[in-house]
Structure 1
Amino acid sequence: MAKSIMIQGTMSNAGKSLIAAGLCRIFTQDGYRVVPFKSQNMALNSYITDDGLEMGRSQVTQAEAAKRAPDVRMNPILLKPTSDKGSQVIVNGQPIGNMDAEDYFKYRNQLIPQIMEAYESLSQENDIIVIEGAGSPAEINLKQDDIVNMGMAKLAKAPVLIAGDIDRGGVFAALYGTYMLLDDSEKNYVKGTIINKFRGDVDILKPGLNMLRDLINIPVVGVVPYLNVDIDDEDSLTERFKRVKSQSLLDIAVIRLPRISNFTDFNALEHIDCASVRYISSVGELCNPDLIIIPGTKNTMGDLKWLRETGIEASILKHTAKGKPVFGICGGYQMLCEKLKDPYEVEFGGEMKGLGLIKATTVFTQQKIRTRVSGEFQKVDGIFKGLSGKHFEGYEIHMGQTDFTNGFTILTENNGRTKEDGASSGNIYGSYVHGIFDSDEVLFEIADALMKEKGYKYDRNSIFDSKSYKDKQYDLLAEALRTSLDMEYIYEVIDRGID
């Protein structure tokens, strides 16, 4: 059976996912067979495995760091928020329905057998399992029947390291308070703390580290610097939404929908060296971009309503009236249609007028489509006509079928089957395929076309290879953690387990 280590945090976005990914790479480099695990993940960024099952992207990232294929056992429960109080519940990669928070809290204990079946199966096949918690173990209102923090540590008999984010301030209070709110049996599982996202001279921090150690009698395992590694973000707390390249020739604006999902689709666009990728949520932020992207969403009709109420819809239509391009992905593709119908009340129920930029109708269905796809673009119109014949690959996750009339471009799979999961009309483009921008040749055609519109020639400095680029980032992360963490002590904790 595998040994384990668990990373918990004082709060969401304390850096649990990144530290877990870095440890996955370190243990893999050291010759161990490693897998990540998170019993329950709440996120709108998800992924479809080769066998058509859905899981959270943070465990996909950690699996890549461990040089392993994503496996739904790594994340047996995924919650995808559909509203402020409810989520779609996905168990072992398949949706079992929507639940509000109260109903789910009553139900979740019934999921422990599925969690342990996944965990024990992975444990039989591997040497080390790196477990990630969620939120904070000190949320005392949620501790009863916990299945993701200390509850999971007990089920797996996993030693715990607690990470705190010093960049937000109050890290000593957060780590001390988190530990002191644990009961005695839970405290026995905590074997160390980690200060994360530190900027400055560690020597100035040392008196505080010593005092924290003396107060809780738990060692500080390390101080991790604020890292600039480019690794996929877990959720909507990402700092990508605030990043802007200065003085970029190309301006790409992604609409930051309230329930935006799979925004990792656009990370590849950041590697167009002459482009900035901005996430905007108001008309004032939109300005005059070269390309507008409408991303995926967990609630297409609800976010389309928001698009109208904010005035962003009118701005998008003005943008298209100038002949400038718009690209919709998944829910954004559905919004481009003339009409959206929801006969089974998958979202709001009833019908809603779309943006009307593609002569098509989307009907929401009760069955969720989950599949990986690869193939080629057929003949593409408009500014991005250079995409014709170019290879794409990715995955689909959607509840809905889009049917359109003649004159639209669709995609062809490698098996020769034509799929009606993409369309173009002039400079309006849409597709259900997540990851469609990850190909280097697709990136080049988009950049080249946008630069030509501005009267420039696009000189590609280097070929962007997504796989090798990611691999280098994981190595950089591992190197930084080896330098800043006491890895000898961490290995001792793993070998010793729970006393």
Structure 2
Amino acid sequence: MSTLMIQGTTSDAGKSTLVTALCRWLRHQDVKVAPFKPQNMALNAAVTVDGGEIGRAQAVQAQAAHLEPHTDMNPVLLKPNTDVGAQVIIHGHAIGCMDAVAYHAYKPTALRAVLASHQRLLASYDTIVVEGAGSPAEINLRAGDIANMGFAEAVDCPVILIADIDKGGVFAHLVGTLALLSESEQARIKGFVINRFRGDIALLQPGLDWLEAHTGKPVLGVLPYLHDLHLEAEDAVNAHQGAKALDALRVVVPVLPRISNHTDFDPLRLHPQVDLQFIGPGQPIPPAHLIILPGSKSVSADLAFLRQYGWDQAITRHLRYGGKLLGICGGLQMLGQRIDDPLGLEGPAGSQAALGLLNFVTTLQAQKRLTRVSGHLQLDQARVGGYEIHAGRSAGPALERPLLYLDSGEADGALSEDGQIAGTYLHGLFESPQASQALLQWAGLAQAQALDYAALRERDIERLAQSVEAHLDTELLRQLCGVPACKN
């Protein structure tokens, strides 16, 4: 049994990607491997096989390891609901909201949850590949750390430090991070990985030689920039999309301050017949065939934000000219008449008028619904699968015309009588090829293609594993992972 931790010099250095790559590479070595992230801060979540929620990145890493995602893979998840506070989720379930000061005091308890999950994984798997958070050199977060070196010291595991050369300053990042660590933490760094390199490696070699001589630590390898690589983002919205058809369906998604599970739109972003635009604050909503209101961690606040920028008026104008409107989860709740918050879960207790486009009311409740589901859309009876993560319960006449029926027999969402407005609590509905095709046809794309999103994700996980095999020191990796040396 062994544990290897991947830490980064910055956010978005490639930690999630490298952990995903190593999980699949180790599976190719017939190693029973599991991913692990002690503490994650993200609004992109996934529902686990044991009925909890974890960061979306860990669910993808579980897929790379050929596993079902489990709450032990991400025992602490922080979901920001204000600029200074977050909902704290332990072992998949919310225990309340805390500001930074309160959470700092809670960290010793959180660490116990982290170590308990790690021990359970160790009992079931040969190797645990751990993803750090942010950077271990963030001085203000060092005290009581459970996400980076605090965890590594607690379980006595080796660490690989990864840095992104594409942004520049890679040697300063690596050397500077190392310099800000304690002696014992520096000793844990067993080598460096440089990520997203473009060009002739020979031109980089003098820098690699200097780095090894200066630090006394090896460079395990340089991973190339992989074009058109897609993995679900841990948190940041990814607006990049490739070439689109001239007659592509125009889809607009307003980016709300607490947008959640925006990975829902990755299949649309990658679809060759869809031109997906994320619209930020101060930007007008352009003409489109379909507007999608996304999920939200703070529906009432995001609804006020939407009104502040006049997007509600733009939606009304869009509908008047025949455009389609879809709400997902929090976006569905915004479509109704009212949002009631009797417990003050999203602020002061009370009610707020919603957009009034469908006749139902949502009541926020303390207990979340966390479940993975499948069923069929009322549109062409297309099969659909996904997951639900929401605290609200909706009721009203509009829901008597559901958008879909679950295999359990439950109805979900709503479809307006004129077929112009739809809503659902289901996340991930565009990942199902049949459902995605049916929804795009409903939105106006007559000859919509079925995109196999799962196959694209699997293809890119394999590309990452191949990159590890081709560009990293696999013998040293085997040693650090406790895997027997490869037999020639």
CA deviation string 1:241-273 (max 9, x = no partner):
244645542111111111111011111223432
CA deviation string 1:227-253 (max 9, x = no partner):
2322111112x4x22446455421111
Residue 381 of structure 1 is matched in structure 2 by none
Distance 2:38 2:150 in 1: 10
One-letter amino acid of the counterpart of residue 74, structure 1? M
Shift of 1:459: 6.1
Preserved CA contact (<8 Å) 1:283 1:311: no
Residue 225 of structure 2 is matched in structure 1 by 226
Q: Which secondary structure state, in structure 2, belongs to the residue aligned with residue 25 of structure 1?
A: helix
Distance 1:481 1:138 in 2: 26
Residue 370 of structure 1 is matched in structure 2 by 370
Q: Which secondary structure state, in structure 2, belongs to the residue aligned with residue 400 of structure 1?
A: strand
1:79-478 aligned at under 5 Å gives the runs 79-227=78-226, 228-236=228-236, 238=237, 240-243=238-241, 245-246=243-244, 248=246, 249-282=248-281, 284=283, 286-348=285-347, 349-378=349-378, 387-405=379-397, 408-415=401-408, 417-426=409-418, 427-451=420-444, 457-458=446-447, 460=449, 463-478=450-465
Distance 2:168 2:264 in 1: 31
Question: CA 1:477–1:288 in structure 2 vs 1: closer, same or farther (change >3 Å)?
Answer: same
One-letter amino acid of the counterpart of residue 489, structure 1? L
Preserved CA contact (<8 Å) 2:23 2:35: yes
Preserved CA contact (<8 Å) 1:244 1:278: no
Shift of 1:48: 0.9
Preserved CA contact (<8 Å) 1:358 1:425: no
1:12-91 aligned at under 5 Å gives the runs 12-91=11-90
Q: Which secondary structure state, in structure 2, belongs to the residue aligned with residue 215 of structure 1?
A: helix
Q: Which secondary structure state, in structure 1, belongs to the residue aligned with residue 277 of structure 2?
A: strand
Q: Which secondary structure state, in structure 2, belongs to the residue aligned with residue 304 of structure 1?
A: helix
Shift of 1:146: 0.9
Q: Which secondary structure state, in structure 2, belongs to the residue aligned with residue 355 of structure 1?
A: coil
Preserved CA contact (<8 Å) 2:384 2:434: no
Preserved CA contact (<8 Å) 1:243 1:278: no
One-letter amino acid of the counterpart of residue 404, structure 2? L
CA deviation string 1:264-317 (max 9, x = no partner):
111122343211222111464531111111110110011111111111121111
One-letter amino acid of the counterpart of residue 475, structure 1? E
With 45-54 and 300-309 compared, the bigger mean Cα shift is at 45-54
CA deviation string 1:411-454 (max 9, x = no partner):
32213x233444444311111111122211112223334445xx
Distance 1:437 1:485 in 2: 35
Question: CA 1:118–1:284 in structure 2 vs 1: closer, same or farther (change >3 Å)?
Answer: closer
TM-score (normalizing by structure 1): 0.92
Residue 472 of structure 2 is matched in structure 1 by 485
Distance 1:435 1:84 in 2: 27
CA deviation string 1:354-413 (max 9, x = no partner):
1111111111112211112222234xxxxxxxx142222211111111112156325322
Distance 1:25 1:156 in 2: 23
Preserved CA contact (<8 Å) 2:7 2:131: yes
Distance 2:223 2:249 in 1: 35
Shift of 1:141: 1.3
Q: Which secondary structure state, in structure 1, belongs to the residue aligned with residue 190 of structure 2?
A: strand
Preserved CA contact (<8 Å) 1:282 1:312: no
Question: CA 1:443–1:340 in structure 2 vs 1: closer, same or farther (change >3 Å)?
Answer: same
Q: Which secondary structure state, in structure 2, belongs to the residue aligned with residue 145 of structure 1?
A: coil
CA deviation string 1:41-92 (max 9, x = no partner):
1100011113321111111010001111111111111000011110000001
Question: CA 1:275–1:346 in structure 2 vs 1: closer, same or farther (change >3 Å)?
Answer: same
Shift of 1:117: 1.4
Q: Which secondary structure state, in structure 1, belongs to the residue aligned with residue 278 of structure 2?
A: strand
Question: CA 1:222–1:319 in structure 2 vs 1: closer, same or farther (change >3 Å)?
Answer: same
Q: Which secondary structure state, in structure 2, belongs to the residue aligned with residue 131 of structure 1?
A: strand
Preserved CA contact (<8 Å) 1:403 1:420: no
Preserved CA contact (<8 Å) 2:79 2:88: yes
Unmatched runs of 5 consecutive residues or more in structure 1: 379-386
Q: Which secondary structure state, in structure 1, belongs to the residue aligned with residue 360 of structure 2?
A: strand
Question: CA 1:115–1:283 in structure 2 vs 1: closer, same or farther (change >3 Å)?
Answer: closer
Distance 1:337 1:487 in 2: 55
Distance 1:494 1:224 in 2: 19
One-letter amino acid of the counterpart of residue 392, structure 1? V
Distance 1:23 1:131 in 2: 10
Preserved CA contact (<8 Å) 1:272 1:443: no
Question: CA 1:491–1:285 in structure 2 vs 1: closer, same or farther (change >3 Å)?
Answer: farther
Preserved CA contact (<8 Å) 1:451 1:458: no
Preserved CA contact (<8 Å) 1:43 1:79: yes
Q: Which secondary structure state, in structure 2, belongs to the residue aligned with residue 272 of structure 1?
A: coil
Question: CA 1:493–1:468 in structure 2 vs 1: closer, same or farther (change >3 Å)?
Answer: same
Q: Which secondary structure state, in structure 1, belongs to the residue aligned with residue 292 of structure 2?
A: strand
Distance 1:50 1:136 in 2: 30
Distance 1:272 1:404 in 2: 35
Distance 1:99 1:479 in 2: 42
Identity of aligned residues (%): 39
Distance 2:284 2:10 in 1: 30
One-letter amino acid of the counterpart of residue 376, structure 1? H
One-letter amino acid of the counterpart of residue 399, structure 1? A
Count of residues in correspondence between the two structures:
479
Shift of 1:22: 0.2
CA deviation string 1:125-173 (max 9, x = no partner):
1111100000000011111111110111122221111111112211111
Distance 2:100 2:271 in 1: 41
TM-score (normalizing by structure 2): 0.94
Distance 1:146 1:424 in 2: 50
